[in-house]
Structures are given as C-alpha cells and as structure tokens.
Homo-oligomer: A and B are copies of this chain.
C-alpha cells in the first residue's frame, strides 16, 4: 500500500464526499454506521463523527439516532453571506471610506418598524439617517432606528466621527438578529441620495438585532445600483 497513512477527519470527509459525488452512495441511501466506517478507515469513531458532523452541518448528510446516516435526498443549499461593518466592506474593495450623517431625531417609527421590533405603538426611538461613501461616491444609504432604552449611551455618541453601525458593533452586544434581503425601486429621495435615476432597482438589507427580549436596532440599507451580494458555498 502506497496510500498515505494519514487518516485525519478531513481525509475521511473528503472520501465520503468522493463517494457521494461518484454516486457510489446516492441521495437517500443509508451509509455505514460510524463504527463500521471507523473500522474501515482504521481510526477512532470520534474522528469519523467529526467528519460526518461537518457534512451534516452543511446539509449534505442527514443523521438520526438509530436510523443512521443518509445522503440528503434534497440537499438544502446553505449560502453564507459575510456581512462586515460597511467601512471594512468598502475598504476591502480598495476604496476610501467616508460617512455622512444626514440627520438624527427622536420620533415614533413607522408601523412596520414598530412591528418587527415588537414595540408598543407610540414608543419613541432614535432615528438616524446616514450615507456611506466609497471614494467620494454614494455606496449605501442607511436608515436606522435605535431603542435608546437598550443603549442609552448612543444619545451622547459622536455619530459624525463614527457611524452608528460601528458604534453599535463596539458598544451594543446582541444575542439575536435577523437579515432580510429584498429589492426596491428608488423613490425620488433615494435617487437623489444614491445619485441614480428614480425607479432604479436597488437591493436592500433589513437587519434587526436583539439583546434577549430587548430590541436594540432596526436598520434598512439601500445599496447603490448594481450592487451584488456574493455568497460562499
């Protein structure tokens, strides 16, 4: 045997991948148990477990106690988007970042914001509007509502020198959150801010974050026309 004697969990993962890929194991098939595979590969069961768990996490295998491990019949593709702080996103593209605070006020948010934050109607929040610039050109428009009860210190923060985005990342740890992606046409105001024609299709990210049951912030980011979100895997 000239085969390498290495039997790391990556080796086993790759071999399992190869067997699925070569259709030796087909979608829906039951594959051997961890104990059997450990015997076959000459390694500890924990090592096999690590490899199979990895593949189950990415949706390629389905595992159930007693029932065993199957090749997923309908592999649900999991696309992972990395969403860094906007400044870093822009700098990663090699562009110079700048940030323009368009205004802050305290007001009652529109109903849909109240809804997603599950706030009683009439609650007043801090409203922040800002523009992120890349090389002097508009990159994304940020419309944010912050719950000052959750992070009182933001009322005294200098949001001209640090974006609310970054201030919150550094100062408002959160336990939960969600992202939604959608498309929207630029209205007159957005067209002006993002320097595009009215009606242009824009991609929008809506994000909310929570500290346990306490809502922290809800934000909508409208990206400049043509923006693409690239997902891995």
Contacts and interface: CB of A to CB of B under 8 A. Distances in A.
A3 to B, nearest CB: 20
A175 B74 contact: no
A177 interface: yes
B184 A201 contact: yes
A182 interface: yes
B231 A173 contact: no
A227 interface: yes
A138 interface: no
Contact of A185 (B178, B181, B185): B185
A184 B183 CA distance: 8
A11 to B, nearest CB: 16
Interface string A69-111: 0000011111111111100100000000000000000000000
Interface stretch (A20-28, A139-147, A149-157): A20-28
This chain's copy number in the assembly: 2
A179 B79 contact: yes
A6 interface: no
A80 B82 contact: no
Interface in A162-209: 169-170, 173, 175, 177-185, 199-204
Interface string A202-233: 11100000010000000000000011111111
B80 A228 contact: no
Contacts of A84: 74, 76-77
A83 B76 contact: yes
Interface of A: 17, 20-21, 23, 27, 59, 74-85, 88, 169-170, 173, 175, 177-185, 199-204, 211, 226-233
